[in-house]
Amino acid sequence: MAAKKGGLGKGLDSLIVNKNEGVVLANPEEHGSPVEVDINKIEPNKLQPRKNFDEDALEGLAENIKIHGIINPLIVQDRGSYYEIIGGERRWRAARIAGFKTVPVIIKKLSEQEFVEISLIDNIQREQLNPIEEAMAFARLIDEFNLKQDEVAERVSKSRTTITNALRLLKLDKRVQDMIVDDKLTTGHARAMLAISDPDMQYEFAEKAFDERLSVRDVEREIKKLLNEKQSLKKNKTSEVDPQLQAVYQDAQEKLKSVLGTKVFINAKDNKSGKLEIEYYSQDELNRIVELLESIK
């Protein structure tokens, strides 16, 4: 798919030599040679998607830098009175710990869109974000640059399913998201909890999963049991519905699910009326469902 006008497209790849080491300019003559800059004149990216830095890992990197120096220069944006980091914040932090007075940088002059996009993709490609930070980075690429999920997937070298599943984590209660950040829950546990719409109940299940060390399968089983109980209770509270119609509704539910490609629920109030619920997990998916329904006209 062609890059969206105004984005970086494969231009980002022309900047990157070794994605495991961060952004390294492939052609210093074209992009500018490294220069030494006062470390106190450099500031972190205010929109850095990564919020958590492992202190032990930074100490280890600082020791390595003391011995070998900074092999890959930082990439910075000239802000006039200071330089803002585009790529290499871990190296900058480690250099400060190591007591460096100056660090090598390559100074860039980018548009704000290029600046944000490189910062996000650099972090994503080097897999230094936790699942929530990564999901927020994907969401920013979509919201700020009007990219579609498959375009984001192409730019960060991940599958579209990975992008969709990551974005679904942002629907979780903030307390549950924090447990993912703190490594108290896996993304597998968290995705299972998306079946629960009540935020407090989500958090209650998250704590239960952590305290009792439940597997993902255990959590899925417990949630399924809970939802079945709620569904049974709901059925008992509804008006009289012909038992024979229940099978009809179930069959219709499965047919709609097959046609729309997502979960569909028919909640009958009585023999004549009810409510049809169609689930979606992203703006793209909603648009797809709307387009599908419009085509039936």
Active site residues: 89
Lateral strand order in the sheet of 83-87: 35-38, 102-108, 74-78, 83-87, 42-43
Report the sign of the C-alpha dihedral through residues 277, 278, 281, 287, in that order. Answer: negative
Could you tell me the end-to-end alpha-carbon distance of the chain, in angstroms, rounded to an integer? 30
- Cβ–Cβ < 8 Å for 115, 86: yes
Residues 6+ apart with CB under 8 A from 257: 263, 264
Give the DSSP letter of residue 73. Answer: P
**Residues 75, 87: Cα–Cα separation, whole Å:** 5
Structure tokens at 53: 């830095």
E strand map for 143-273 = 264-268
CA distance 78 to 88: 15
